[in-house]
Structure 1
Amino acid sequence: MSSRTIYVVVTRTNTIPSRFIRIYTGSAYNHVSLSFDCSLESMVSFGRLYPSLPVPGGFVREGKNKGFFHRFKDTQCRVYSKKVSEDAYEKFLRLLQKIESHGCKFNFLGLFTLIAGIPLERENAYFCSQFCGKMLNESGIHRFQKPFGLLRPEDFCGLEGFTLLYEGPLHAFSNQPSPTLV
């Protein structure tokens, strides 16, 4: 049976919103993305639609050398990997296509309720960790023990079954190119 590798990428930058989030949460990382591309040139998440503006937000296709991460070259990261079945990969792609086709929005209200410890699930609206949690859970890759609306990027560090591949500057991450991009 063939398998694929999924990558979970948790990041931090030195932007003002990023520093504020780190001060408030005490966490070293404040964003999470997913990829099936071992070069990390194709990642998916919810975040800034325009790299130079903190709002508006929404579904984004990111890459380690494009968009937001190209603008903020000092981005630090942790990259985790896990082998997944072809079935889980196909479920992931179907769910991703469904989410993309609905024109999902950024769940700003959910970020505020997260701070208060109250999960807020809104139809077709996500923040980064909420989206990544849903994608991993509903594709059968990882089951979380708390609501997606309470997930934070640090919850993706050290998930069971995932291996830490790299920690350091995102732009310096290197891996073999993958024929399959998300």
Structure 2
Amino acid sequence: MEKNIYIVLTNTGTLFSRAIGVYTRKELNHASIAFDEQLNEMYSFGRKNKNNPFVGGFIKENTMEGLFKRATCAIYKCHVTLQEYNQMQDKIRHMEQQKELYKYNLIGLFGLAMNIEIERQYAFFCSQFVATVMNECNLSDLHIPPCFMQPHHFEQLSSLEIMYKGCLQTYVKTKRPQEERIQVRSWEQRGFQIQA
């Protein structure tokens, strides 16, 4: 049986994202992995609080709020076996259960910029994390070590098929039932934070 995973590259327009863009000279500088087409189960390493870029780690991302509200994106689909899909989900579940241990690998970003391999057990930057999870299924065309993986490298993988490019909110609105979008908007108007 075959399943799909989704690699989501985004530009949130933050100062940090723009700074990375100056180095990479690429538009999309954040990478996430999702296990459903609607992006309800989307994970990465990034800021834990939208107002504080200095506290980061493992996060389950909500495409309907925060920095994603104005994001542009490219969404890629990758076919995997059920066993590979389950292996990747197990890795995510394990990290989620121990998420307090995980930190954002800012030191690793400096290593990447200087072409020095820096691996830290409980620290990842976004594209390093996605590549590490994908390595659970030994994708044959993932030739770059995770510590050197940048978001634009995913665009070059033959195992990935482009599904969509454009405004993230436009994509989400076409994939999620209208009742769900209305319910989320209604709760947000009352001042509640919705966690996906």
Q: Give 3-state SS (helix, strand or coil) of 1:131's partner.
A: helix
TM-score by length of 2: 0.82
Equivalence for 1:86: 82
Q: How does 1:35-74 map to 2 (within 5 A)?
A: 35-69=34-68, 73-74=69-70
- Distance, in Å, in 1 between the alignment partners of 2:153 and 2:140 is 12
- CA shift at 1:37, angstroms? 1.5
Equivalence for 2:154: 156
Instruction: Give the number of aligned pairs.
Output: 174
Equivalence for 1:175: 175
Instruction: Determine which structure has greater relative contact order: mean sequence separation of CA pairs < 8 Å that are 6+ residues apart, divided by chain length.
Output: 1
- Distance, in Å, in 1 between the alignment partners of 2:59 and 2:138 is 22
Q: Which amino acid aligns with 1:84?
A: V
- CA shift at 1:28, angstroms? 1.3
- Distance, in Å, in 2 between the alignment partners of 1:83 and 1:143 is 13
Q: Give 3-state SS (helix, strand or coil) of 1:111's partner.
A: helix
- Distance, in Å, in 1 between the alignment partners of 2:131 and 2:55 is 22
Runs of 4+ residues over 4 Å off in structure 1: none
TM-score by length of 1: 0.88
- Distance, in Å, in 1 between the alignment partners of 2:176 and 2:115 is 40
Equivalence for 1:115: 113
Equivalence for 2:12: 13
Unaligned runs of 5+ in 1: none
| Residues 38 and 175 in structure 1, CA contact (< 8 A), matched pair in contact too | yes
Q: Which amino acid aligns with 2:148?
A: L
Unaligned runs of 5+ in 2: 178-195
| Residues 65 and 171 in structure 1, CA contact (< 8 A), matched pair in contact too | yes
Equivalence for 2:129: 131
Equivalence for 2:164: 166
| Residues 136 and 143 in structure 1, CA contact (< 8 A), matched pair in contact too | no
- CA shift at 1:176, angstroms? 6.3
Equivalence for 1:96: 92
| Residues 48 and 56 in structure 1, CA contact (< 8 A), matched pair in contact too | yes
- CA shift at 1:95, angstroms? 1.2
- CA shift at 1:6, angstroms? 0.6
| Residues 47 and 54 in structure 2, CA contact (< 8 A), matched pair in contact too | yes
- CA shift at 1:158, angstroms? 3.7
In structure 2, do the counterparts of structure 1 residues 75 and 137 end up closer, same or farther at CA, with 3 Å as the change threshold?
A: same
- Distance, in Å, in 2 between the alignment partners of 1:148 and 1:85 is 22
- Distance, in Å, in 2 between the alignment partners of 1:90 and 1:158 is 25
Seq. identity, %: 34
Equivalence for 2:192: none
